[in-house]
């Protein structure tokens, strides 16, 4: 019994039911055959099909029917075409996605306050704590402040747990903070000052989750 494949210049064509040997060409390359390999793009897909490479096209072809065989498309340099590729500009189309909220906002300084009044508001929706560094300068007798919250950026309330204002009697840097905030907006307010009108307040906020 001989083992191996028979070398022939041409492929054998056995009849149905014959025992066929493996066949190689005269260079010992094993012959293989794939039925129905040549199918045009847009034709109905056969039960078995093999396609290698991409189809080079300068334009996008006409759409085919669902279930039809389609060829991978490349440009005239063999680069794959993508659905997001804009042929007219040579750019990739990208859909903007709203970025996830940062873990913190700031630190950011509000505009200096020199008289009774409030800073601009900051949207803190989704955050639960804040820290405000208050720099007091040129104080006369004392100055009273508070951190305020709001749910509609219009009606404001004291964020102190006891609803108490904070009074400073000397120049310096003071912390004003709260954990467990449940409002949508934050602002810093000078309530009043006594003994003169020279005080300045520089407040910087840091918002966190």
Residue 133 above 60 pLDDT? yes
Q: Above 60 in pLDDT, residue 37?
A: no
The reply to whether 61 falls in a domain is: no
Domain of 134, in residue numbers: 104-208
pLDDT score, position 20: 66
- Provide the pLDDT for residue 26: 72
Residue 115 carries which DSSP code? Answer: S
Q: What rounded mean pLDDT belongs to the chain?
A: 82
Q: What is the DSSP string of 69-95?
A: ----EE-TTSPBP-TTEETTTTEE---
pLDDT score, position 59:
78
**What does the pLDDT read at residue 29?**
74
Question: Once rounded to an integer, what is the mean pLDDT over residues 38-52?
Answer: 56
Using pLDDT thresholds of 50, 70 and 90, give the confidence band for residue 4: low
In a domain, 55, yes or no: no
Task: Supply the DSSP string of 1-45, one letter for each residue.
Answer: ---S-EE-SS---PPTT--PPPEE-TT-PBP---TT----TTSBP
Residue 27 inside a domain? The answer is: no
How would DSSP label each residue in 127-188?
A: --EEEEEEEEES-SSEEEEEEEEESSSSSEEE-STT---EEE-SSEEEEEEEES---SEEEE
10-19, 97-106, 144-153, range with greatest mean pLDDT: 144-153
Does residue 11 have a pLDDT over 80? no
> What share of the chain in percent tops pLDDT 70?
76
The answer, yes or no, to whether residue 45 has pLDDT greater than 70, is no
pLDDT at 131: 96
**Contacts by 49-56, CB closer than 8 A, 24 or more apart:** 54/78, 54/80
Taking the C-alpha atoms of residue 206 and residue 166, their distance in angstroms, rounded to an integer, is 19
Q: What is the mean pLDDT of residues 114-123?
A: 96
Indicate if the pLDDT at residue 111 is higher than 80.
yes
Flag whether 140 is in a domain.
Answer: yes
Q: How many domains does the chain have?
A: 1
148: domain CATH number is 2.60.120.260
- Please indicate, yes or no, if residue 176 is contained in any of the structural domains: yes
Q: Give the pLDDT of residue 187.
A: 97
Q: Does residue 64 form part of some domain? A: no
In a domain, 113, yes or no: yes
Task: Report the pLDDT averaged over residues 76-90.
Answer: 72
Which pLDDT score is estimated for 66? 83
Of 20, 198, 51, the closest CA to residue 113 belongs to: 198
Residue 24 lies in a domain: no
Q: pTM for this structure?
A: 0.55
Q: Which of 60-74, 116-130, 142-156 is least confident? A: 60-74
């Amino acid at each position: 019994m001989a083992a191996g494949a028979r070398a022939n210049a041409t492929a054998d064509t056995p009849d149905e039911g014959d025992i066929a040997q493996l066949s190689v060409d005269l260079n010992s390359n094993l012959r293989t055959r794939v039925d129905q390999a040549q199918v045009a793009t847009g034709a109905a897909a056969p039960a078995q099909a093999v396609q290698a490479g991409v189809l080079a096209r300068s334009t996008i072809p006409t759409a085919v029917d669902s279930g039809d065989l389609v060829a991978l498309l490349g440009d005239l340099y063999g680069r794959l075409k993508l659905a997001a590729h804009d042929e007219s500009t040579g750019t990739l189309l990208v859909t903007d996605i709203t970025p996830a909220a940062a873990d913190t906002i700031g630190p950011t300084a509000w505009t200096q306050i020199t008289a009774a009044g409030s800073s601009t508001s900051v949207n803190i929706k989704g955050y639960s704590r804040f820290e405000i560094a208050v720099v007091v300068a040129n104080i006369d007798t004392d100055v009273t402040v508070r951190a305020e919250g709001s749910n509609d950026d219009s009606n404001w309330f004291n964020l102190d747990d006891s609803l108490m204002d904070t009074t400073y009697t000397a120049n310096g840097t003071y912390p004003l903070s709260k954990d467990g905030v449940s409002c949508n907006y934050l602002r810093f307010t000078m309530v009043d000052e006594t003994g003169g009108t020279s005080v300045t307040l520089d407040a910087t906020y840091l918002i966190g989750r």
